[in-house]
Structure 1
Amino acid sequence: MFERILIVCLGNICRSPTAEYLFRQRTESRHVAFSSAGLCAPIGRPMDATALQLLAENGIDGTMHRARQLMPSMLREADLILGMERDHVAAMIHLAPEIRGKVYMLDKWLGEKDIPDPYRQQRIAFEHVHEMIEKGVDSWQLYL
């Protein structure tokens, strides 16, 4: 059973906080703590407005989110770590090699596709990525 799940992307303002809040919504009755961080996070910055709007349209308030920089200690403390791209997984393993056995792609159960970064793109790109993240989050529910 996983108690601490960490979701990682590049900036921690679009993809990983979206996944974090979707996981929280879908696992309210379970005793799991979700958090997110970025490999190159603009520390303290709120979620991207479009990502935030898509969450709000699904009844989720992500306004309290602030970007966090990924630290090796966060990787070591997590029971499960989910990355958005293969490069993210590789970077995390490089940062803390001992985590190799607990880091996976968010899309692991759906073909392990990279989930592209929608940052600075039009809403349609965010909608596509949001849908990919929802499917990834839902695919993990059997294992939590």
Structure 2
Amino acid sequence: MFKRILIVCVGNICRSPTAECLFRHYLSGSGARIESAGLGALVGKPMDATALAVLRDHGVDGSAHRARQATSGLLREADLVLAMEREHVAQLMRMAPEASGKVMLLDRWGAGQDIPDPYRQQREAFDHVYELIDRAVRGWLPYL
């Protein structure tokens, strides 16, 4: 069982907090610690309003989220690090080479695709990305 999971994207206001909230929702009561961070985080900012609305429409609350920066320390402390894009995986491995064995693509058990960034796009893009993230998160559940 992975006790500490870190999810990473760029700004830590759309994709990674959505995945964080969904993992928390699906793993509630498991004792797992789910966190998220960004490679270029908008530190201290709440979730993007549209991402937050999409989560809320699916019965998940992300209002407490505040963006934070990914660090090599966070990577080392995590048991599993999940990234939205292949390039994020590569950046994380460069940031903390000693953590490379636990850095993987969020969609590893699906099509293995990058999850696009919906930032500053229309609601439809956020809905699409939510579906991709939800499918990817559900794909991890049997392995956690």
TM-score of the aligned structures, taking structure 1 as reference length: 0.99
Structure 1's consecutive aligned runs of 4 or more residues displaced over 2 angstroms after TM superposition are none
Unpaired runs of 5+ residues, structure 2, are none
What does residue 48 of structure 1 align with? 48
What does residue 26 of structure 1 align with? 26
1:29 positional shift:
2.4
Alpha-carbon distance between aligned partners in 1 of 2:8 and 2:119, rounded to the nearest angstrom: 15
User: What secondary structure sits across from 2:37 in the alignment?
Assistant: strand
TM-score of the aligned structures, taking structure 2 as reference length: 0.99
Residue identity (%) = 59
What does residue 139 of structure 1 align with? 139
Residue-by-residue CA offset, 1:110-129 (whole Å, 9 max, x unaligned): 12100000000000000000
Spell out the pairing of 1:92-131 with structure 2 (5 A cutoff): 92-131=92-131
Residue-by-residue CA offset, 1:73-124 (whole Å, 9 max, x unaligned): 0000000000000000000000000111101000000121000000000000
Alpha-carbon distance between aligned partners in 2 of 1:31 and 1:143, rounded to the nearest angstrom: 15
User: What secondary structure sits across from 1:138 in the alignment?
Assistant: helix
User: What secondary structure sits across from 2:109 in the alignment?
Assistant: helix
What does residue 14 of structure 1 align with? 14
Aligned residue pairs total 144
Amino acid at match of 1:36: S
Alpha-carbon distance between aligned partners in 1 of 2:71 and 2:98, rounded to the nearest angstrom: 14
Unpaired runs of 5+ residues, structure 1, are none
Alpha-carbon distance between aligned partners in 2 of 1:111 and 1:47, rounded to the nearest angstrom: 26
Alpha-carbon distance between aligned partners in 1 of 2:134 and 2:35, rounded to the nearest angstrom: 16
1:58 positional shift:
1.2
